[in-house]
Amino acid sequence: MNRQELVQLIRERKSYLCIGLDTDIHKIPKHLLSHPDPIFAFNKAIIDATKDICVAYKINTAFYECQGIRGWESLQRTVEYIPKEIFTIADAKRGDIGNTSTYYAKTFYETYGFDSVTVAPYMGRDSVEPFLAFSEKWAIVLGLTSNEGSRDVQQLQLDGGGFVYEQVMKTTASWGTPDNMMFVVGATKADVVADIRRLLPDHFFLVPGVGAQGGSLKEISEKGMNKEVGLLVNASRAVIYAGNDEKFAEDARAVALQYQAEMAQYITL
């Protein structure tokens, strides 16, 4: 999916909601456990209930990889089931060099057909560039993440002023363009989002941390939007685990609609 298509979808749906299909086999409704592929059965129901509300789905591959081959099969069924007009994210946080990165990119872009993959930039340029070599695919670079441990490295202050995450984002941005690179910017760091937007005025930000982690959609929207919205705000647990009985998908839809309704107030496209 290219940038114009993504922006058009946001405009049409008045939504920049990304739903995280971070599906934990231990948290899905018990009645699904007898299904031949309970993870896919859960995801299918969530997708059916929300596919007209969101603009993206994010799949954290850890929840699938831990299941072995069955988990990878669930992942593949899920990606294939997502409507083609919706942006897909492999939240795999890959980062290596040379041919290894190229094959990671092939895995997610070609074998599984994702539109994007999250990438760790700390091994440098040759770990990120292979993900930028595919037409209409996106590398989503870890910038300032929402976890407390981001203080350990990302938020260290540099001797010359500024922070490690700022230097990493500014440097990484020069390797790609706003048409093939996004950045992860955590919603729990809303106080610095405006500064990051000034640093990167044209890039899309993937924003985790709204909902269960306590990030404010209002703050992120006010401080992080650009002229094309430029945000994909992710909600995972708050949406997909909104209910835990036979009506779980309806409950998920209700929460997703609340997010979309609030987003529609902020969109000025």
Report, as residue numbers or ranges, the catalytic residues: 93
Q: Strands, DSSP E only, in the chain?
A: 17-20, 56-60, 87-94, 116-119, 138-144, 181-185, 204-207, 231-235
| R_g of the chain, CA atoms, integer Å | 18
**What distances in angstroms separate CA 56 from CA 7, 10, 222, one per listed residue?**
12, 10, 21
Q: Are strands 181-185 and 138-144 parallel, antiparallel or unpaired?
A: parallel
The token duo for 178 is 């706003």
Transcribe 27-56 into DSSP letters. TS-GGGTTSSSHHHHHHHHHHHHHTTT-SE
138 within 8 A of 180, measured Cβ to Cβ: yes
**What distances in angstroms separate CA 227 from CA 18, 38, 50, 255, 269, one per listed residue?**
19, 41, 26, 27, 7
